[in-house]
Structure 1
Amino acid sequence: MRASVLYPDGRLLVEERPIPRPRPGEVLIRVLAVGVCGSDTHYLRHGRIGTHVVEHPIVLGHEAAGVIVGVGDGVPKSRVGQRVSIEPQCPDPSTDESRRGHYNLCPRMRFYATPPVDGALCEYVTIGAAFAHAVPDSVGDDAAALCEPLSVGITAIRKAEVTMGDSVLIAGAGPIGLMCAQVARAAGADRIVVSEPDAVRQAIAPRFGATEVVEPGAEIADVSAFIDASGVPAAVTAGVRALRPAGRAVLVGMGADEMSLPTSVIQNREIVLTGVFRYANTWPAALSLITSGRVDLDAMITGRFGLDDVRAALESDRTPGSIKAIVYPGGTPPATPIQSPESAESDTVEDVHP
């Protein structure tokens, strides 16, 4: 099979690799679509995310969908031919975290495109059968691949406990911020304020759920939930200060390793502060949101690329108008025209899954 391989020195080459064989309990998937994530571009540009370093050649890509073409022992052969969205995790079911249901926090997790584990920018991958989620015919390959970043938004909104009539402040109108806004709208939030410095991203935010768009530093008060999708310390501080008593702050964007927080505000208002690290048990909700039309993932796609153009796909976040790029490992990108909303170029790493 063909695979796009990133080397420690920054080279990105298309190489021939053996097609993997599914082990017991796994399925073999022909990859049809892969979304480009900020973590992929970060590995390309910087060679590392935190303690995860590209020390050996690696295949990037963890937002993926495809069709099952083979099964390992213990998996029904009837699954061959099934279109699936890939949940790119391989937790150890014996760890305490997995047994508690928090398998995303498994200390022995193997996650697509996190060194040294290969990802999905190739023609075939394997995954545990339970992590290959069947998708209905009404869900296209692109949207099926984007169930992964949508799952980050679902997790953030769940942790923020957003429900009908709530007010939400979201810092950042990049892909994850816009996912959060869509999910907040689907959850019934009445007021969705998006804070974003760039004018073109400000302009597109209402299309994806924002009821108000403000400049960072604008006076916002008495919101029930704050979600940071920027990783900017100043945005986090402002968001915490905007919360009403007993509000909830959820940190999604990864920026500074450490930052100062208004601890007196957190204590006096009994603010709940938490983070998001990947997701668990989100795919049924993601597929329900897509099939019901409550979120629109196809509208977020602004670039389509073949496997030979992965570098261009990874660099497309610098292109004005870019929100989400899709790579098609198995062939030529579809000729479907893209209605591309204007957006800002940014190096912010929002959706990082180390």
Structure 2
Amino acid sequence: MNRSLAPELSLLVASCLHIEYEERRLMDSRHLFNLLYYHQIRPVFLSYIHERGIDVNFKQKLTNDCQHITFSNMLCAQELVRVDKLLTAKDITTYAYKGSVWADWLYGNVGQREFGDIDLLIPKEDFAEAIEVLSNEAGYLADDYRKYLLETPKMRKRFFRTDYHIPMLRETGDSTNVLEAHWEIAYPRLLFTFPSDEWSRYSEKYMLLGKELNVFQKEYQFLILLVHHGGKEQWKKLKYIADLAAYMFRYGHLTDWEKVTALAKEKGIYSLLTWSLGILKALCLPWKKEWPQQIVSVEVTSLIKQWETAPRLPSNSTWPYFKHGLAIHDGFKHKSALIFEHLKYFSEWQLLWHKAAWYKKKQS
């Protein structure tokens, strides 16, 4: 482990990579506690310290929290299965990803990963009918502004051109379920091209709680994981590093890396692939012979600083998204397409103006 890491962060990184932690430097328990919660790796960390006999003075609270996380995750998994059954009954194809599916897929345990909502990918041609089923039969409602966008033809077209999902809420007694219905995996201006007309080509079945769900083949789903964790979230939290390491340990020796490489180059994100795996190498994850051998360590100083300081996310992410997008997209062709997509986004001034006015009115 890199000795330049503070002892608290060093322990958290070791738990995410599932590697030995042999340091015995004094730690600030409060700082460790705060970092642990910020990075959303409580179940991973609890399993790690339990296996290695490492003690922390907040272990009982951590244990209680992880029991609650397991219970909440199981309810989300059950809700995912219920919603999928309702949509399947209407011949609407959906693809489950993130959330409880990734918890089970990556860790083999639905309680081992922190998440907060249910995510479904729904092809564009089925999206309108799916929203009706989710609203009328599953009990999920979009907020007033998105209802307005969906019900106003001109705004609806602009909304679908510039956005990628609709958050929906379902009130159930003392709790609230959050479901995100996606027609893309990210904002179109970010140029992560995983269009719905190719999803069936890479689909496979996955068993969760006795129900077959549509998911994606591991190579395709791995790239989606990289897009979400590294492309959108830029590896800002250790939760994402833990997911990446979990994939490598569980599926790295089974993955068709030539297929992954070909798909990444086709989609202009080979730089994202090599950078992401290079982070694991830089963090001293033992590299197995079945894993890609062309990967080299990358500079992680800025990431370490970010993990240590746990900064607030910016209120406006457009500029950071754009700069990061230029860095992780390949070559002139894909970088220029990214610039063009951002120009197209800002040309939708009517939607952007209307959106700003709506939220300003709501706040007032």
TM-score by length of 2: 0.29
Report the structure, 1 or 2, having the larger strand content. Answer: 1
Structure with more contact order per residue of length (Cα contacts < 8 Å, sep ≥ 6): 1
Report which of the two structures shows the higher radius of gyration computed on alpha carbons: 2
Larger helix fraction of residues: 2
